[in-house]
Structure 1
Amino acid sequence: MQFQGTDQYVATDDLKMAVNAAIALQRPLLIKGEPGTGKTLLAEQVAEALGKPLLAWHIKSTTKAQQGLYEYDAVSRLRDSQLGADGVEDVSNYIKKGKLWEAFAADEQVVLLIDEIDKADIEFPNDLLQELDRMEFFVYETGETVRAAKRPIVIITSNNEKELPDAFLRRCFFHYINFPDAQTMMKIVDVHFPDIKQELVSEALEIFFDLRKVPGLKKKPSTSELIDWLKLLLADDIPDDVLRNRDTKKAIPPLYGALVKNEADVQLLERLAFMNRRER
């Protein structure tokens, strides 16, 4: 069982090697990289390429590790007991299974995505150490132990908002997705826009990478933002010579709102353009 990428996802040799190594070692694959470099999409494409179901657990700042296992609704049980409802004696009626329980209980091997783990509290990864290591956990309310019927392929993403604990890192296979170079980016664009004019792509990529090189930029445009920008350029039927012969006195490229995401960066680009005009 080898991941070799898909028609919709351009995976580098290093990334394919990392996915296959994590599967062989039966360890979670921890993926880091800039936002917009395809970390979440990777899990979807691994599931599609290997013909496995995908279970996605998207982490928020309020998410607790216990929610990935199960949640016991004691309040509802108490209310139902006061109302004399049927089934109150069966505590399992008030247990909501989490994504890890679903993955462990699945009849076939699944791909489990734990997305943006660094959004949660710092203790969140530590609270999942034993469950991800042993692939089992104990349900105190029912007295049962839930074990993985088929060990899931676990892919964990992080945007580096918080440092992850060493004990957690030791249990993972790690890969950092480097930002694509121009050649790889061209392949990614071809996947999304197979019929796009290469002249337009060439000019757009030059502007895009020049923008990323601007010193002091708070938010560099990402791959997903480049795709959005190209989609707008095509929708507005902007000819490639508009990009090639663009007025350098203008601060920012056409339809810049797809690339530049805050007013500080807009003001920075305007200042740079003003200085460029002064020098001329």
Structure 2
Amino acid sequence: MEIVLDHTLIDASEGSAFSITRPDGESGIVLVCEHASNRMPRSIGDLGLDEAALQSHIAWDIGAAGVAEILSDTLDAVLVRQCFSRLVYDCNRPPEAPDAFPEKSEVFTVPGNAGLSEADRARRTDELYHPFHDAIDQVIDKHVAAGRDVVLVTVHSFTPVYFGSRRDGELGILHDADRRLADAMLEAAGEAELAGVRRNYPYGPEDGVTHTLKRHGLARGIPNVMLEIRNDLISGELEQSEWGVRIAGLIMSGLAGLKASEARA
């Protein structure tokens, strides 16, 4: 297991740090998947991890990209995805956060992230974090210029067992200071009698997981929500499709409820 650092993190032949699906989507919904891929830049090697670790939840949000794609298709919404593993840079963390370059993730030690120099951190930030979040800004700017009502939805998954403890919830609807859309979606979930849907589960803003919401949603006053789906429920394409359609319904019902609430105010 080699640990390699090079002066260039991502070679041009490896493509962009992010991808955009359905760039001409007509809805104002902007979907973001910060942990879509477990891919490693060649210059990084495997960070000293074996294949089992690189395929596990520590490297990516298993199934989240598939659900996000279904949401994009169903809602006619643009989707911005990260193309490299969160172990290289966790794009749902600001550069100053210690876990932006995790030296340990759950029970796994990440040798290739130990003792990174300031130059290493700056290189990863410049080649992964900034291009990804700049792309989100540009997508939102385009929607605003088109006069659309913009909504930000980030898509994640969580492991059913964490540090030996079982998690029985199925879908977490997370928010930071702006709870408008989360409240409306939770109300819609209750009306649909969906079991296992919880607020700020299995994490909350106190755990530092709402960076993207704060940077692009709260800063602009845009309704925003973060979704966490238990990854054993979305392990295959069929399950991802089912959950994507189910969540799309919650988003649409939530947005309708939000508009009705604003009209009454």
User: Normalization by structure 2: what TM-score?
Assistant: 0.22
Q: Which of 1 and 2 has greater Rg? A: 1
User: Normalization by structure 1: what TM-score?
Assistant: 0.21
Of Structure 1 and Structure 2, the greater helix share is in 1
